[in-house]
Amino acid sequence: MAYTTKLDACINRFDHQINIMKKYINLVWKPLVKTQDKKLLKFASESLIVRAVAFIEEYLSCLVGLASVNEEKLARDYFKNHGNPETQEQVKKGCNLGLLWKYTATEVSFKNNAKKLKRIFNHLFSFSPFPDNETENLILDAVLIRNVILHEGSMPSENYAKQMRNKGIIIVIDVILQSKFYDIELIENRVIINFFNAFSKLASYIQEKLKKDSRFSYMV
């Protein structure tokens, strides 16, 4: 296997996972559609979102973790300013690379508009993890939907609805005594396809950026 950057193990793992998902979708999606069972299609779509978000999180964690090994001093400098007291103390003592990788990977968070993720990316790579606002909004919405599925039993509240960046994904399905009830819509608006396209666009964008970075690229 030909490598173009020192971090290619991360993109190769991500590509492998996505290819398996594509094969799975090609195998099961048409039979599911033929059932015309909306509940079944909704369940399948939500399951795919959960796995896809897990893949992108693993990919980003791998990138920053492996980068911390290649750019050890830069990674250690990051935690002098942004680590919690325990992490700062361990880094100051000269923690091993495995622990440094772990600390760096925990910065992959989508909370607060992916503040920590953007911060660690800008520190290590000098660019944002998101290629554009549209891709960022789709990915953050996908993460939010994943959280609703895992933590709210796929039953979004008004609070989740207000956080969505794209309309038509969390929708009002009923109003009772002035109280709104919501649901996730992934089929009719084809948003699940937009989610997957955003994941692929992010990965391709990062890979192209890394190819132009002399610290990580074998091609420069």
Q: Do residues 159 and 152 lie in contact, with contact meaning Cβ atoms separated by under 8 Å? A: no
Phi and psi at residue 62, to the nearest 5°: -65, -45
Q: Could you tell me the two tokens for 20?
A: 């398996």
Alpha-carbon distance of 196 to 6, in angstroms, equals: 25
Alpha-carbon distance of 138 to 143, in angstroms, equals: 9
* Chunked mean pLDDT (size 10), the chain, 220 residues: 86 95 93 92 94 97 97 95 89 92 96 96 97 97 97 94 94 89 87 93 96 89
Alpha-carbon distance of 121 to 129, in angstroms, equals: 6
Alpha-carbon distance of 62 to 57, in angstroms, equals: 8
Task: Name residue 35's amino acid.
Answer: T
**Would you state the pLDDT for residue 2?**
64
